[in-house]
């Protein structure tokens, strides 16, 4: 694994460290919501002018121990349908503004609200769609032993260029090795990756291929090509 830490060790997540992690999450997320409020308001206004309402995208995801919650992001696609009433492909519904928000990760700013509500952490495995729960192997399901996050170990080690199986392996590795120091390291590297726009979706892709389960010959074995 790229950027792998040295010799593996099990992390039993001491209660004090978990409390400190939660305190840092709530404090930093609350401060960022205040400091970035002009930017958040500007993005909301831009989306209202270019796409109208709703301004936010909500989707059911799985959090700590698989508990469901509604993730909140800025909307990046229109709701256009074809003549038969079916939604157009994601690539045709992704707007220029939406592509910019994804490329700069600004579409994820509303997730800070999820953090203040205790549904997300700043750092942890990315929360995936709730329907994936039944598709994980027992080992892969261990990614839910820790709080899911806005950024994580997989995001700084390949992000969407990784196949699902490798991405899940990185998530489980994080669950076993979590520490406050590792979280800080991930946050610093995330900032750098965002600046370099590593692992961002190319212009002809709008959605990450769906995880269809282990052992299939479908999208789960292909490299992820978008955010």
Residue 154 maps to a domain: yes
Provide the pLDDT for residue 140: 94
Give residue 17's pLDDT band: very low, low, confident or very high (50, 70, 90).
confident
Quote the crossing angle between the two packed helices 37-50 and 15-35, to the nearest 10°: 60
Residue 188 maps to a domain: yes
Largest Cα separation within the chain, whole Å, is 57
Q: Which domain holds residue 100?
A: 15-221
Q: How many domains does the chain have?
A: 1
Tokens of 114: 């999820």
Whether pTM > 0.85 for this model: the answer is: no
Q: What 8-state DSSP symbol labels residue 151? A: E
Q: Give the residue carrying structure tokens 């392996």.
A: 169
Distance (Å, whole) CA 147 – CA 69: 12
155-200 per-position pLDDT tens digit: 888 766 788 999 999 999 999 999 999 999 999 998 887 776 655 5
Residue 6 maps to a domain: no
Provide the pLDDT for residue 202: 44
Give residue 21's pLDDT band: very low, low, confident or very high (50, 70, 90).
very high
Residue 227 maps to a domain: no
Residue 9 maps to a domain: no
Distance (Å, whole) CA 133 – CA 62: 8
């Amino acid at each position: 694994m790229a950027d792998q830490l040295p010799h593996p060790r099990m992390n039993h997540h001491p209660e004090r460290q978990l409390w400190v992690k939660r305190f840092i999450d709530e404090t930093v997320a609350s401060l960022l919501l205040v400091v970035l409020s002009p930017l958040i308001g500007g993005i909301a206004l831009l989306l209202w002018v270019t796409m109208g309402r709703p301004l936010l995208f909500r989707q059911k995801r799985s959090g700590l121990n698989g508990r469901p919650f509604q993730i909140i992001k800025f909307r990046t696609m229109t709701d256009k349908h074809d003549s038969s009433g079916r939604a157009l492909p994601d690539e045709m519904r992704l707007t220029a503004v939406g592509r910019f928000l994804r490329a700069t990760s600004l579409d994820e700013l509303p997730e800070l609200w999820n953090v203040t509500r205790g549904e997300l952490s700043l750092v942890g495995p990315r929360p995936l769609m709730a329907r994936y729960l039944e598709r994980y192997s027992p080992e892969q399901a261990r990614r839910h032993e820790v709080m899911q996050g806005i950024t994580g170990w997989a995001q700084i080690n390949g992000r969407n260029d990784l196949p699902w199986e490798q991405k899940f392996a990185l998530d489980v590795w994080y669950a076993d090795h979590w520490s406050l120091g590792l979280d800080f390291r991930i946050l610093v590297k995330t900032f750098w990756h965002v600046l370099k726009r590593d692992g961002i979706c190319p212009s002809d892709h709008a959605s990450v291929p769906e995880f269809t389960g282990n052992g299939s010959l479908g999208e789960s074995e292909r490299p992820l090509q978008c955010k």
